[in-house]
């Protein structure tokens, strides 16, 4: 290939360069060319389209250089040219965004090459299979061939499809290997870039820039994590469907109410603690009076979360009645009472977690929600959201419901008190049901959006 001078006005840039690299100017390169001239010729097609040397081209325009050294390439065919543009930039310093865009386009190239290889193999197979012997008057065999498939007029087919692709090797793996990057990192980067383009198309320029900075200034993983968290939060927000017209809670004792119920998908409840029981009733007696019955109402595909106090005797009693799958902790730091003199402040409660034998995986897209210790402030009245001493926060209720159920599932709370759990269930499109023996508490639940039922009638 011979180096020659070409009028810069005759050259054209390839759109793929701007699509992947987006650069039109390099200050350091311009200063070098101003001092030493263009040392490496531009590689161009017969149609004067630049394959390699876009930054040199832009620097020459800025410096008013009329003629530039070029070499005509014998590369033809859309795929070969585009692949060469990517590989011509192998040695340049690239941002993570540019690397991701290289991967996206090279993967598409590899997919097209795979289609071509498949079409070529199909054509060859058909040609062999189509040679049939048809009886003629002179008894001579005449081959009947099928028409060749349309290969999109791509030239140099043999170069693009030399050799048969190894079985089960995906285009994505080939593209990542050619670029010298890990497949998982490449796919994460591609997802981030796609999101950047999506946000930009929607006019969300600041969000797109924030994500681009995270990708280029931090890491692919950091930017990908930001997307995952954002999508998870959007998915969580989308589940809130608002209160339905009816959320029934019954004025009834736990055992009688459970007897009349079918099975549920989730048992989520906060029963009275050992300090709330009548004199002469032990916490173990109380636990045995309701927990086995309640757990029997949970489907084999369901789960249960039981809030209990942090007193050792209470924990021991429940463990003796029905050992859980796991013990979780809810902790808070915003509602502390007087400082005790002889023991540590109790700012936690235990949650007995039961996973039934056929229960599916937890639906927990946010890893930060899957800690065994859930740290969420207790309702404290500062936002007019505290109706009962031991009321649980809406956030923890919604978390457990989202993790364990889907819309339309049934959630039971046989100690519903002021309605926190049934109301959370209905906000998320589940069917929340509950009961409580305190009519006073149920009246509060009514004010919050529940309907009180007694003896089958609304009261």
Locus of tokens 């209470």: 314
Determine the pLDDT at residue 139: 44
Judge whether 233 and 366 are in contact, CB under 8 Å: yes
Give 314's contacts (C-beta < 8 A, 6+ positions apart): 273, 274, 283, 308
pLDDT digits (tens, 9 = 90+) for 185-200: 999 999 999 999 999 9
Determine the pLDDT at residue 243: 59
pLDDT digits (tens, 9 = 90+) for 126-165: 877 766 544 444 444 444 443 433 433 334 434 444 444 4
Which domains, and CATH codes, for the chain?
4-74 (3.90.1530.10), 182-239 (no CATH), 248-335+344-458 (3.40.50.150)
Give 44's contacts (C-beta < 8 A, 6+ positions apart): 6, 11, 50, 51, 53, 70, 71, 72, 73
Determine the pLDDT at residue 208: 94
> Could you give the C-alpha distances from 443 to 99, 184, 394, 414, in angstroms and in order?
61, 55, 19, 16
Determine the pLDDT at residue 340: 85
One pLDDT digit (tens) per residue for the chain, 459 residues:
699 999 999 999 999 999 999 877 788 999 999 999 999 999 999 999 999 999 999 999 999 999 999 999 999 899 999 999 999 998 888 999 999 999 999 999 999 999 998 998 888 888 777 665 444 444 444 444 434 334 333 344 344 444 444 445 789 999 999 999 998 999 999 999 999 999 999 999 999 999 999 999 999 999 999 998 888 888 777 777 765 557 899 999 999 999 999 999 999 999 999 988 988 899 999 999 999 999 999 999 999 999 999 999 999 999 999 999 999 999 998 876 778 888 898 899 999 999 999 999 999 988 889 999 999 999 887 756 778 888 999 999 999 999 999 999 999 999 999 999 999 999 999 999 999 999 999 999 999 999 999 988 888
Determine the pLDDT at residue 383: 58
pLDDT digits (tens, 9 = 90+) for 84-105: 999 999 888 899 999 999 999 9
What is the distance between the alpha carbons of residues 211 and 188, in angstroms, rounded to a whole number? Answer: 13
Judge whether 365 and 232 are in contact, CB under 8 Å: yes
């Amino acid at each position: 290939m011979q180096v020659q001078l070409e009028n810069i006005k005759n050259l054209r840039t390839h759109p793929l360069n701007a699509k992947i690299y987006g650069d039109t100017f390099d200050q350091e390169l311009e200063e070098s060319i101003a001092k030493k001239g263009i040392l490496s010729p531009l590689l161009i097609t017969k149609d004067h389209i630049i394959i390699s040397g876009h930054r040199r081209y832009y620097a020459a325009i800025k410096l008013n250089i009329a003629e530039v050294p070029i070499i005509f390439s014998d590369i033809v065919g859309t795929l070969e040219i585009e692949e060469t543009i990517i590989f011509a930039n192998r040695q340049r310093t690239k941002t993570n965004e540019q690397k991701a865009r290289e991967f996206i386009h090279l993967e598409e190239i590899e997919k097209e090459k795979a289609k071509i290889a498949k079409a070529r193999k199909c054509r060859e197979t058909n040609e062999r299979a189509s040679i049939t012997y048809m009886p003629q008057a002179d008894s001579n065999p005449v081959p009947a061939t099928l028409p060749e498939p349309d290969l999109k007029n791509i030239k140099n087919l043999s170069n693009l499809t030399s050799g048969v692709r190894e079985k089960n090797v995906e285009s994505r793996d080939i593209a990542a290997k050619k670029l010298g990057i890990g497949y998982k990192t490449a796919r994460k980067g591609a997802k981030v870039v796609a999101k950047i383009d999506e946000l930009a198309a929607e006019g969300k320029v600041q969000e797109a820039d924030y994500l681009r900075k995270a990708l280029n200034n931090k890491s692919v993983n950091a930017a990908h994590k930001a997307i995952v968290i954002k999508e998870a939060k959007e998915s969580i927000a989308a589940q809130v469907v608002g209160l339905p017209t009816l959320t029934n809670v019954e004025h009834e004792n736990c055992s009688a109410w459970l007897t009349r119920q079918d099975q549920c998908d989730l048992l989520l409840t906060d029963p009275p603690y050992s300090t709330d029981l009548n004199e002469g009733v032990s916490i173990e007696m109380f636990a045995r009076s309701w927990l086995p019955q309640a757990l029997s109402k949970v489907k084999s595909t369901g789960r249960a979360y039981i809030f209990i106090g942090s007193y050792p005797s209470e924990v021991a009693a429940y463990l003796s009645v029905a050992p859980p799958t796991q013990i979780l902790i809810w902790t808070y730091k915003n509602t502390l009472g007087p400082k005790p003199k002889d023991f540590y402040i109790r700012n936690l409660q235990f949650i007995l977690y039961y996973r039934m034998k056929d229960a599916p995986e937890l639906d927990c897209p946010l890893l930060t929600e899957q800690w065994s210790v859930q740290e969420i402030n207790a309702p404290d009245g500062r936002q007019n959201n505290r109706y009962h001493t031991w009321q649980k926060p809406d956030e923890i209720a919604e978390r457990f419901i989202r993790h364990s159920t889907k819309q339309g599932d049934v959630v039971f709370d046989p100690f519903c008190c002021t309605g926190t759990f049934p109301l959370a269930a209905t906000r998320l499109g589940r069917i929340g049901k509950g009961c409580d023996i305190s009519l006073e508490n149920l009246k509060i639940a009514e004010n919050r959006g529940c309907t009180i039922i007694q003896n089958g009638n609304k009261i």
